[in-house]
Amino acid sequence: MAGAIVAIVVVVFLLIMAARTVRIVPQARAGIVERLGRYNRTLLPGLAILVPFMDRLKPLLDLREQVVSFPPQPVITEDNLVVQIDTVLYFTVTDPKASTYEIANPLQGIEQITVTTLRNVVGGMSLETALTSRDHVNATLRGVLDEATGKWGIRVNRVEIKSIDPPSTIQEAMEKQMRAERDKRASILTAEGFKQSQILTAEGEKQSAVLKAEGAKTAAILRAEGEATAIGTVFGAIHKGDPDQALLSYQYLQMLPTLAQGDANKVFVIPSEFANAFGGIGKAFASGTVGQTAGAAVERAGGAGEPAGGVTEAPRAISEQAGAIGDNSGQHDQ
């Protein structure tokens, strides 16, 4: 019975010794070995053998990149506004021995350096500058933290500002200002669009007026050329027909009723040439040459058919013309 107890005790002792002697360090971990209270060596990933009761393995250190989010810190800006700044830190342990023996609490030290650096950097900026200069603040923080944490065996990879929260009243004022700026830009764009629209409309009307004027000019020129051609043709026909004084007097009498027409003609004055024309026609009738002269003139002018009325129809036409002139003259006198 006693031998069995001794055997059990020996087995347990051997298991304890084996557990304290053989250690396995996982990947991306590192261990600090102290022998009799002093630093002995750093264990790398893999199998390690320790001396029982002489070597002590401190807690393993994580060599991967770590992320730490610090609580918001109050910072006073240059324009005396208190803002809450929330930061995120990315760091890596590069020297396990230094991070173990150079500083007691690395995270607390990093947090305090971050807070003091933020107050120094942001304290020299206005609120608007701080809100738009995050890259500058991040670079400044990283430089200061790298310099301070280098001797601790820690490398700061990145420092990011998560948020900068000004007081609620300042946020409302900034929102109103931004809304006013947007309304201003919208009004300016609307005015510019209306201006461009008016300019384009005016240019279109100008071009339309120019084109209409050119069209009217061309039409007037063509109309004048046509009238000139017509007048030239008539003038040539008259000269070709070679009319005598009797025919011209007869045509003059035919135009008198047309001169007497019109609602605006209150008084019709018979021109002095009327007596001469009528006398010439009378002499022509007395000699019997009006019809023959008119017919010859029409034939010479290129007319076709018999003379209009001949010698026998001319007196009747003249009497009708004279009666019409008398009627029109009487109406206008009334």
Least reliable range by pLDDT among 9-13, 143-147, 161-165:
9-13
Per-residue confidence (pLDDT) for residue 284, from 0 to 100: 54
Q: Is 135 a residue whose pLDDT tops 80?
A: yes
> How sure is the predictor about 311, in pLDDT bands with cuts at 50, 70 and 90?
very low
Residue 159 pLDDT > 70, yes or no? yes
Task: Name beta bridge partners: 201.
Answer: none
Question: Rounded to whole angstroms, what are the CA distances from 325 to 108, 126, 256, 290, 291?
Answer: 129, 105, 7, 21, 22
Q: How far apart are CA 158 and CA 68, in angstroms?
A: 11
- pLDDT over threshold 80, residue 156: yes
Instruction: State mean pLDDT over 253-266.
Output: 64
Of 218, 154, 211, 174, the C-alpha closest to 81 is 174
* Measured distance CA(259)–CA(269) in Å, rounded: 10
**Under 8 Å CB-to-CB from 115, ≥6 apart: which residues?**
70, 73
* Residues 6+ away with beta carbon under 8 Å from 70: 86, 87, 88, 89, 111, 114, 115
- State the pLDDT at residue 77: 87
Q: What's the CA gap between 282 and 286, in Å, rounded?
A: 6
Region 240-248: what's the mean pLDDT? 68
Please tell me the least confidently modeled range out of 180-189, 225-234, 242-251, 259-268. 259-268
12-16, 114-118, 186-190, 241-245: least confidently modelled range: 241-245
Mean pLDDT of 276-290: 54
Residue type, 115: V
Q: Are 125 and 77 in contact (CB under 8 A)?
A: yes
Q: What is the reported pTM?
A: 0.51
Predicted confidence band of residue 162 (pLDDT cuts 50, 70, 90): confident
Tally helices (H) and strands (E) across the chain.
Answer: 10, 10
Where are the domains positioned within the chain? Answer: 2-62, 66-166, 186-241, 242-333
Provide the CATH topology of domain 66-166: Tetrahydropterin Synthase; Chain A (3.30.479)
Task: State the pLDDT at residue 282.
Answer: 57
For the chain, percent of residues with pLDDT exceeding 90 = 23
For residues 16 and 73, give the distance between their C-alpha atoms in angstroms, rounded to a whole number. 49
What's the DSSP call for residue 151? G
pLDDT on residue 265: 57
Better-predicted residue by pLDDT, 60 or 265: 60
pLDDT at residue number 161: 87
Q: What is the pLDDT of residues 54-92, one digit of tens each?
A: 888 888 999 999 999 888 888 888 888 888 888 899 999
> What pLDDT, on a 0 to 100 scale, did the predictor assign at position 252?
66
| Range scoring the smallest mean pLDDT among 194-208, 224-238, 241-255, 265-279 | 265-279
**CA dihedral angle for residue 102, residue 103, residue 104, residue 106, rounded to 10 degrees:** -140
- Return the pLDDT at 273: 55
